[in-house]
Chain A
Amino acid sequence: MTRNAPLVLVVEDEAPVRRFVRAALEVAGYRVVEAESAREATAHAAGWRPDLVVLDLGLPDGDGLEVLQVLRDSLRIPIIVVSARGQEATKVAALDAGADDYLTKPFGVPELLARLRVAMRRGLGVVRSGPDAIWRAADVTLDLARRVVTRSGTAVHLTPTEFRLLALLAQHAGGVVTHQQLLEEGWGPAALEQPHYLRVYMSQLRRKLETDPARPRLLLTEPGVGYRLVESDDGGLTS
């Protein structure tokens, strides 16, 4: 473990969970600092200056969302929140409050590492999320600068809104984008009252991009939360 390895603050009250997360992260080349309470989390965040936070929203001594706010305000680093299934509202609230991604308990290590990888890239500025970036997965390529989408080398025709939605997803490739964020991007704040617009457009996009729209591989649904465009094949977006 090198001094340069990224430092992850794991905020979780259950010791066994911390133990396996630490084990998994250390094997993957991260350094880990643990906090088992909201108080400890804010203290460690200030003292250790971690590069990334994995935050369980269900802490015994405080509201996870409040901790998230404190961390968000004090550190400009990626935060991945963890919560149980059935608490989609909490996840959405956390994502809209600035969390970068979420994990649903129970989660597997591959999932945890994928989230961390995506968040780290963005956090460390590896990802070129600017307008000149290119996203590429399976047989689909998206050139944000030239506004060109191809599938198996053939141009795919998108409407302006379809393109805006896809571009936002591509800028967060590998990470989740909430319904609210997508609706505002596509139709402005007024469209929050028309959530089915987004559903219709995502369905259209899938028909244009997916081999089998009923079993999407690129544009994944995160039930109750939003959508996730899979990571670009070459990691982040590249120029």
Chain B
Amino acid sequence: MGWAVGPIVVAAGVGLVLRPHLAPADLAMLMLLGVVVVAARNPRWIGVLGTVLAIVGYDLLFITPYYRFSVSDTAYLITFVVMLIVGLAIGHLTSLLREAAQHRAQRERIASTRLVLNERLGAVASADELAEVTAAVLTEATGASCRVCWVARGTTVEAVIDGLGQPRIDHGLRDGVLAILEGSLPHYLTVDGWLVHRIQEGERLWGVVTLDPGEPPRALLDQVPFLAAVLGQVGTILERRETAAAHEAVRVEVEAGRLRTALLSTVSHDLRTPLTTIEGSASTLLTGQDAIPQATRAALLEAIQDESRRMNRLIGNLLEMVRVETGALPVRRSWQPIEEVIGVALLRVEPRLAGRAVEVDLPEDLPLVAIDELLMEHVVTNILENAARHAPGETPIRISARATEESLEIRVRDHGPGLPDAVLAAGSSATVPRGRPIGPGAGHGLGLLICRGIVSVHGGTLTLANAPDGGAELTVRLPRGVAPDGPAHEEEVTA
């Protein structure tokens, strides 16, 4: 404080030296300069003190008679008053400026802490991590060790104290936490130097933060405005996360609903189409009896058989999908040559190939691969059927397999119109094109969806593409893994 009024002392000293050469008004200005400097650089009360000191000093040192008060001094009353007013005004103005600067610094600190919170809290997923990161950011910003515990409806005091993990927490703090949980206190309280603050946004209490006064204890109350502002932001972030999670849940639900609807319409469409043919053919045969020519009769009967098989395939697809999607039935993988699965699939689709040429290109040295043969057969059958259905009848289908270092690739290529863009686009995700029926009867969707599911259960991928010169090309890649040793070599003995 002594130093704070130094400028006045200096002004007085300078005035003493120059007193013989200067008029009292000049000396008053000199003292006023000291007042201005003191008031500008110090808290307001020091400014006032300095002003009073300057007036007294001026009266004693520069007004005759020197070194004592006298009645004639009243002639300088205006000078005194002006000095006082100037001192007070300057002090007031500078303190306003100083407060504004402090506010700005505080705002900047709040803003940057909010920014850090936004950034770092956005990157974490779990509630525990959120608490940890929040505490770390607050510790960094306040310099006091902070702990954070989230509060939900029904959270007990014990859980909070446990969550805060404070070994030094005592009964006072416990009561404080209880009061905060009950909402019967303002946003914060101090207990034994500890600061306990609500994390609140609007009406909702999100959690509690404690600030450790540390050793030696330091005052934490000046952190309250900062905390209030920053913790509101934490509440906002939490609220936003919760809203986003709720939206995501709704979106997933809607998407699942859409898939269900699409499936349902596909299934009902695909089941009804063959049923229509079956019922129509059967009733025609029943009502027409002998009036129906032999050839027509045979055609109708054949239609009944074909459509029944088609229904069977669709039901098979649905069952496999349920099996893969729900994990209801186990996937039984065993090591075997892919050639065998392809052979079975080719045999199965033979009736639908109707004599179409199928080129099979399988190197003899293909490695064994660990697969569920029933499921993989389903995949190959589906893909071959897809090709047979979409490519013109006279064009060949080619199925080939080759081994790379990591995987075994099975490729089916047709010379049809290729896959529609919607299917190619949907190929990159597990979703189904919206709005229109999907499935073996209507398009590619359901069958390919199931293929993708089965292949991914095997740790592989299904790639859909159109060849540059037309036609669809579907590639199944299965991980090779480490095949077991084969049986010991044997010499051929039979003649």
Q: Which residues of A contact B (CB under 8 A)?
A: 85-86, 88, 106, 108, 147-149, 155-163, 187, 194-197, 199-203, 207, 212-216, 220-221, 223-224
CA distance A71 to B136 in the complex (A): 75
Number of interface residues of B (CB under 8 A): 38
CA distance A194 to B336 in the complex (A): 11
Which residues of A are found within 8 Å of B339, using beta-carbon distances?
203, 213-214
Q: Are A214 and B343 touching (Cβ within 8 A)?
A: yes
Within the complex, the shortest CB–CB distance from B323 to chain A, in Å, comes to 7
B308 contacts the other chain (CB 8 A): yes
Q: Say which residue of B332, B374, B487 sits within 8 Å of A161 (CB atoms).
A: B487
8 A-B pairs (CB sep. < 8 Å):
A86-B319, A148-B495, A158-B493, A200-B487, A214-B339, A221-B340, A223-B373, A224-B374
Q: Are A157 and B323 touching (Cβ within 8 A)?
A: no
Q: Are A221 and B343 touching (Cβ within 8 A)?
A: yes
Q: A197-B487, A214-B346 are in contact. Are A202 and B319 (CB under 8 A)?
A: no
Closest to A213 in B: B339
Say whether chain A's binding surface is mostly helix, strand, loop, or mixed.
Answer: mixed
Q: Are B486 and A197 touching (Cβ within 8 A)?
A: yes
Which residues of B are found within 8 Å of A159, using beta-carbon distances?
490-493
Q: Are B487 and A156 touching (Cβ within 8 A)?
A: no
CA distance A199 to B341 in the complex (A): 11
Q: Are B343 and A215 touching (Cβ within 8 A)?
A: yes
Q: Are A196 and B346 touching (Cβ within 8 A)?
A: no
Q: A158-B493, A158-B494, A214-B346 are in contact. Are A200 and B337 (CB under 8 A)?
A: yes
Q: Are A160 and B493 touching (Cβ within 8 A)?
A: yes
Of residues 59 through 77 on chain B, the ones whose CB sits less than 8 Å from some CB of chain A are none
Which residues of A are found within 8 Å of B484, using beta-carbon distances?
194, 196
- Which 4 residue pairs of A and B lie closest in terms of their CB atoms, listed nearest first? A159-B490, A157-B492, A196-B335, A199-B336
Within the complex, the shortest CB–CB distance from B285 to chain A, in Å, comes to 15
B360 contacts the other chain (CB 8 A): yes
Q: Which of A88, A200, A201, A221 is most buried by chain B, counting CB atoms within 10 A of its CB?
A: A221
Q: Are A199 and B374 touching (Cβ within 8 A)?
A: no
Which residues of B are found within 8 Å of A200, using beta-carbon distances?
337, 368, 486-487
B329 contacts the other chain (CB 8 A): yes
CA distance A224 to B329 in the complex (A): 14
B344 contacts the other chain (CB 8 A): yes
Q: A148-B494, A156-B494, A223-B377 are in contact. Are A106 and B312 (CB under 8 A)?
A: yes
> What 1/0 mask marks residues of chain B from 108 to 129 whose CB sits below 8 Å from any chain A CB?
0000000000000000000000
Which residues of B are found within 8 Å of A214, using beta-carbon distances?
339, 342-343, 346, 360, 362
CA distance A149 to B495 in the complex (A): 8
Closest to A87 in B: B329
Closest to B362 in A: A214
Which residues of A are found within 8 Å of B495, using beta-carbon distances?
147-148, 155, 157
> What 1/0 mask marks residues of chain B from 76 to 102 whose CB sits below 8 Å from any chain A CB?
000000000000000000000000000
Within the complex, the shortest CB–CB distance from B479 to chain A, in Å, comes to 16
Q: Are A207 and B373 touching (Cβ within 8 A)?
A: no
Q: Are B344 and A221 touching (Cβ within 8 A)?
A: yes
Within the complex, the shortest CB–CB distance from B341 to chain A, in Å, comes to 8
B334 contacts the other chain (CB 8 A): yes
Q: Are B374 and A216 touching (Cβ within 8 A)?
A: no
Within the complex, the shortest CB–CB distance from B91 to chain A, in Å, comes to 91
Q: A196-B335, A216-B343 are in contact. Are A86 and B487 (CB under 8 A)?
A: no
Q: A86-B329, A223-B374 are in contact. Are A199 and B335 (CB under 8 A)?
A: yes
B18 contacts the other chain (CB 8 A): no
Closest to B490 in A: A159
> What 1/0 mask marks residues of chain B from 336 to 355 whose CB sits below 8 Å from any chain A CB?
11011111101100000000
Q: Are B494 and A149 touching (Cβ within 8 A)?
A: yes
Which residues of A are found within 8 Å of B374, using beta-carbon distances?
86, 88, 223-224
